[in-house]
Chains A and B, each alone.
Chain A
């Protein structure tokens, strides 16, 4: 498959659930300056299934709110529209991922957790947005798996046989890496730039011009969650660290110890969230 063929295919993704019509309605509402969180919340809450899914996500430990969020209105106020919109757009995709590749789901949740921890420590204004970027950073892998299952299997098998990182093999087999694919989709779905950029550049953070800090955090969080071995991104290896990105977020050993401690605690809570332990019993 050539790069051009793949781009055409991505323009017309068939295999994934479509974006709920509610998203365009919400987008229109947000353009209107008079729209309040309460009004947006009312529209979302009409869809009970979506509401339940959203509340489960916003209450999971990677966002780290001490109090339970019980209404969409609250979720909108605490997490912001960008995050809620991204969760609505991607909620059906995460269902696909949870059913087809629980290890990749765990990797994504783990990356979201690490990203939230680092973002909060750095005093970033909306750390939930950074967590959400971590949650969707491997979007391209889910799309590849759903849309081109044969190629995806070949990518994993080749990576395993030749001991090469998945992203190198992706380039060879479909002419593009999952980060580029994820970036194309996220743009198509009108996700905010602060989330598209880290998806697109999480393996090449030095290349991005905007949102460098959030991209550096996602780049490092991906490394960290692979390093501790939570979930799986398709191959076992820790990816190389981009030192320009590291310069933006670097910290010393005692900070690193605190981050590891907090990450370990939150990942233990996540194991409950993914239900893995229940399934294995």
Chain B
């Protein structure tokens, strides 16, 4: 799944989570397919961010999962002896992997000894 500013939304994308107005009103649910009209309507209602399925957009400043995991490792390089922080690092890595590739990817990444 990917969170995108609404201006990156395009017809054909499918919502992963419901679209919500700033007032908290739900406009359409998960699995709704975006159309040009729907996107316009969501914009008019003040929706700014959508959570869509897959990773359809390359946002400015977006980095690949591999780069992000490498940077995560570097950021933790001075606190690796702390068990709590180590656990948090692992949870962040897992969260990103699941977000990008789905839950089953975490197990195989751990098997390969990747980021942990």
Contacts and interface: CB of A to CB of B under 8 A. Distances in A.
11 contacts: A68-B23, A224-B88, A229-B71, A237-B78, A241-B84, A253-B91, A260-B95, A264-B99, A265-B51, A268-B3, A280-B60
A68 B46 CA distance: 11
B76 A238 contact: yes
Interface of B: 3, 5, 22-24, 48-49, 51, 59-61, 68, 71-72, 74-79, 82, 84-85, 87-89, 91-92, 95, 99
A272 B49 contact: yes
A227 B75 contact: yes
A268 B91 CA distance: 19
Contact of A238 (B49, B61, B85): B85
A2 B113 CA distance: 49
Nearest to B2: A268
Contacts of B78: 165, 237-238, 240
Interface size band for A: 35 or more
A265 B84 CA distance: 23
Interface in A4-35: none
A229 B5 contact: no
Contacts of B3: 264-265, 268
Nearest to B25: A66
B49 A241 contact: no
A269 interface: yes
A260 B24 CA distance: 21
Interface in A42-75: 59, 66-68
A165 B79 CA distance: 12
Contacts of B75: 226-227, 229, 236-238
B85 A241 contact: yes
Interface string A208-249: 000000000000000110111100000011111101001000
A124 interface: no
Interface string A242-275: 0100100010010011001100110011011000
A277 interface: yes
Contacts of A229: 68, 71-72, 75
Contacts of A224: 88
B85 to A, nearest CB: 5
